[in-house]
A and B are shown apart, each in its own frame.
Chain A
Amino acid sequence: MCNITKEQVYKAIESVIDPEVGFNLVELGLIYDAIIDENCNVKVVMTLSTRGCPLHQMLTQWVQDAVKKIDGVNEVEVEVVWEPEWNISMAAEHVKKALGME
Chain B
Amino acid sequence: MFQISKDYAPPFKMIEPFFVLGSIFYFLGTIILLFLHPKSGHFDFSIVGWAHWFLLGFVMMIIFGAMAQLVPVVVEVGHFAVDLYYIIWPLLLLGVLGMVSSFWFAPWLLPYGGLLVLVSMLIFLFETFMTLKKAQNITLTVKTVYWANIFLLIGILSGFFMTLAIGNGFDINLTKWLKAHAMLVLGGYVTLTIIGISMVLLPMFGLAHGFDDKPVNRAFKVMIVGVILYVVSTLISFYFATMLAWIVIFVAIANYFYQIYLIYKVRARKKEDIWSKSMFAGFFSLALAFIFGFFNLFIESEQLLLAVAWFLIVGFFGFLITGHLYKIIPFLVWFERFSPLVGKQKVPMLHEMVPVRDAEFEFYFSASGVVIAGFGLMLGSEDIFKGGVLLLVVGAFFLVKSVFWMLRFK
A-side interface residues toward B, CB under 8 Å? 15, 17, 19-22, 49-58, 60, 62, 65-66, 80, 82, 85-88, 91, 96, 98-101
Contact = CB atoms under 8 A, between A and B. Distances in A.
Contacts of B331: 20, 54
Given A58-B339, A99-B270, A100-B270, A52 B349 contact: no
B210 A58 contact: no
A50 B205 CA distance: 9
B269 A22 contact: no
B253 to A, nearest CB: 24
A53 B205 CA distance: 10
Contacts of A20: 205, 331, 349-350
Contacts of B69: 54
B323 to A, nearest CB: 15
Given A19-B347, A20-B350, A52-B74, A101 B204 contact: no
B410 interface: no
B3 A86 contact: no
A19 B1 contact: no
Contacts of A21: 207, 269
Contacts of A50: 200, 203-204
8 contacts: A19-B350, A49-B204, A50-B203, A52-B200, A53-B4, A82-B2, A85-B209, A88-B207
B268 A52 contact: no
B342 interface: yes
Interface in B95-124: none
Contact of A86 (B9, B209, B270, B335): B209
B358 to A, nearest CB: 21
B47 to A, nearest CB: 38
B8 to A, nearest CB: 8
A66 to B, nearest CB: 7
B349 A62 contact: no
A87 B210 contact: yes
B200 A80 contact: no
B214 interface: no
A49 B343 CA distance: 21
B349 A57 contact: no
Contacts, number: 77
Contacts of A56: 2-4
A96 B267 CA distance: 11
B3 A57 contact: yes
A60 B73 CA distance: 16
B209 A87 contact: yes
Most chain B CB within a 10 A radius of its CB, from A54, A85, A88, A99? A54
Interface string B322-364: 0000000001001100110011000111110000000000000
Contacts of B347: 19
Contacts of B342: 58, 62
Contact of A22 (B6, B270, B351): B351
Contacts of A66: 343
A99 B349 contact: no
Interface in B294-346: 331, 334-335, 338-339, 342-343
Contacts of A22: 349-351
Nearest to B9: A54
Nearest to B137: A51
Contacts of B3: 56-57, 60, 80
Interface in B1-25: 1-6, 9
Interface in B190-248: 200, 203-205, 207, 209-210
Interface in B340-394: 342-343, 347-351
Contacts of B200: 50, 52
Nearest to B201: A52
A57 B343 contact: no
Contacts of B343: 15, 62, 65-66
A99 B207 contact: yes
B204 A53 contact: yes
Nearest to A81: B1
Nearest to A91: B268
B268 A99 contact: yes
B268 A101 contact: yes
Interface string B137-161: 0000000000000000000000000
A81 to B, nearest CB: 9
B268 A57 contact: no
Contacts of B6: 57-58
B408 interface: no
A58 B336 CA distance: 12
Contacts of B335: 54-55
B207 A52 contact: no
